[in-house]
Amino acid sequence: MRDRNYKGFTLIELVITMTVGSIIALVTSQLISRPVTAYANLSLRAQLVDSAESSLERMTREIRSALPNSIRINTTNNSIEFLRTIDGGRYRLHPTDDLVSSGNVLSFDPSIDDNSDGFEVLGPLSNPGGIATSSDAGDCITGNADCLVIFNTGQINNNAYQLDNVATITGVSGTPSIITFAFQGTQEAFPTSSLMQRFSIIDTPISFICDTTADTIRRYENYPITASHANVDQASELTSLGANNALVADKIDECSFEYNSGSATRSGLVTIRLKLSETMPSGHVESVTLVQQIHVKNTP
């Protein structure tokens, strides 16, 4: 006789319970995993945006210090290079009597043979004690001293990369400051005076090179002024010249540099485009693209 007090599950009830439980678990996992995945993607995207913005801000800050008309783009090596200005001001157009008598007169007359000229600065320098000097006229070109540059247009006879209007600073002294300098080789004077009596002091070329093979942008400094970019492997050439380099950004998928030199009434414009990408463990690729435009001085 069947015991009516016996209680339990039938096989059918057990199967139905397991099936319903599986469905509930599946739905619940979908409801939980999607927000978690979305949060992870959003977090990764925020990290990429932060990295891109930091890199652009660093490059922007340095590019704004570029010597007027010294920016050059190398599309072969996907890079930007410029000569960094560390100080500058205006020179006295009519030297005082003591400067004339000393022979240290800023001259634009090539008939004057004086390999160590000088001039008085109108107003204070930003950091006269921070200017590197040398008695060797070739030291600023190799990066062992700072360079004096006047009226850099980037054109023939006024191109700092060609050393047309560059001299090594040999001394900074006095109040107001007297800057003395020396030309390399047989050069005797600056080729062209500045309409606004401006001069610039530069210390080193700077290059930002994008390597999409290594997914990086690296910064190079402290290398000699060179007449032209390398056409094969600029990074290797700069390294061979003794340049220091540091990582600016990684995870670089695409990047480009553009330069519009502007006009007499409009500043130059540098445009930088960066695309950073990273693959999630799930295989999803998260990417961000940022564009930065930088106004730069082009009036020498």
Strand partners, 59: none
What is the rounded CA–CA span in Å between residue 42 and residue 119? 58
Q: Check residue 29 and give its pLDDT.
A: 63
Domain boundary among 203, 218, 243: 203
Domain boundary among 138, 171, 203: 203
**Percentage of residues in the chain having pLDDT higher than 90:** 53
My answer on whether 109 and 124 are in the same domain is yes
**Average pLDDT of span 274-299:** 88
More confident residue, 11 or 153: 153
More confident residue, 115 or 287: 287
Is 7 contained in some domain? no
Burial bucket for residue 30 (CB in 10 Å: 0-12, 13-18, 19+): exposed
Is 17 contained in some domain? no
Is 10 contained in some domain? no
Q: Check residue 115 and give its pLDDT.
A: 47
Residue numbers of the domain that contains 143: 84-203
My answer on whether 285 and 179 are in the same domain is no
Number of domains within the chain = 2
pLDDT in tens, 229-282: 777 788 999 999 999 999 999 999 999 999 999 887 889 999 999 999 988 777
Is 102 contained in some domain? yes
Q: Check residue 119 and give its pLDDT.
A: 87
How would residue 48 be classed by pLDDT, with cut points 50, 70 and 90? confident
pLDDT in tens, 200-238: 999 999 999 999 899 999 999 999 999 987 777 889 999
**Average pLDDT of span 98-117:** 60
My answer on whether 90 and 189 are in the same domain is yes
My answer on whether 197 and 89 are in the same domain is yes
Domain boundary among 159, 182, 203: 203
My answer on whether 108 and 184 are in the same domain is yes
How would residue 85 be classed by pLDDT, with cut points 50, 70 and 90? very high
Q: Check residue 250 and give its pLDDT.
A: 92
pLDDT in tens, 111-123: 655 545 788 898 8
